[in-house]
């Protein structure tokens, strides 16, 4: 099942999502739907609040970039109840987009290295360290679980300048090739 993507202006994107239990109903099909929805909208990551579920799950798949960066060849995963820890001081600026902020791309400063613990889709407890693009995707998706969007992490003046475009997104005036909705 493909879900519409919940966009900016929806209160659920501002909520702190809740952890789930291993017996969460239809967890396997939910995760598979999240992957399908992400592929349909050509995204590299998708968090459950973006499909209208305020729970702590996100999925990522950057394997399509493996030609340019072989390091990404197995970066397709589901993260359940993740806990994120920043490693080191190093930060990196990169251009980012978000399915919930259609057609907006901005430079975002993020930490270069993280450690993440989580349950995978088979409920195996996992601990991993990531850096570079993978760490960036993880931080972006993890933010969604805490009600944070990438525009919250840009220069406040720059964010002010984007106000009109953000309002347009909230009014569904920005057209994209995937289905979007505002969840009131
Ligand atoms: Ni996003």
Q: Which of 10-19, 68-77, 98-107 has the lowest mean pLDDT?
A: 68-77
User: What structural domains and CATH numbers belong to the chain?
Assistant: 5-181 (3.90.45.10)
Q: How far apart are the first and last CA of the chain?
A: 22
Of residues 68, 106, 131, 141, which has the active-site annotation?
141
Å from CA of 70 to ligand 1 middle: 23
**Catalytic site residue 121?**
no
Q: How many angstroms does the Cα of residue 59 sit away from the middle of ligand 1?
A: 11
Q: Taking the mean position of all CA atoms in its chain, how far away is CA 182?
A: 17
The pLDDT confidence band at residue 100, using thresholds 50, 70 and 90, is: very high
Q: Using the mean position of ligand 1's atoms as its centre, give its distance from the Cα of residue 102 in Å.
A: 10
Ligand 1 center to 42 CA (angstroms) = 12
Q: Which has the closest alpha carbon to 44: 20, 66, 13?
A: 66
Residue 14: the pLDDT is 98
């Amino acid at each position: 099942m493909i879900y519409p993507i919940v966009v900016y202006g929806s209160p659920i994107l501002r909520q702190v999502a809740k952890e789930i239990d291993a017996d969460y109903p239809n967890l396997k099909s939910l995760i598979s739907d999240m992957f399908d929805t992400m592929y349909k909208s050509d995204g590299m990551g998708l968090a459950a609040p973006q499909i209208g579920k305020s729970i702590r799950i996100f999925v990522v798949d950057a394997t399509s970039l493996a030609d340019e960066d072989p390091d990404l060849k197995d970066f397709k995963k589901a993260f359940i109840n993740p806990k994120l820890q920043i490693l080191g001081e190093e930060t990196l600026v990169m251009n980012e987009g978000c399915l919930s902020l259609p057609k907006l791309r901005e430079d975002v400063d993020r930490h270069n290295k993280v450690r993440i613990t989580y349950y995978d889709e088979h409920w195996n407890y996992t601990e991993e360290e990531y850096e570079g693009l993978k760490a960036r995707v993880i931080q972006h998706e993890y933010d969604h679980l805490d009600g944070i969007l990438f525009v919250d992490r840009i220069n406040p003046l720059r964010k002010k300048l984007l106000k009109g475009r953000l309002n347009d997104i909230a009014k569904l005036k920005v057209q994209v090739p995937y289905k979007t909705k505002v969840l009131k």
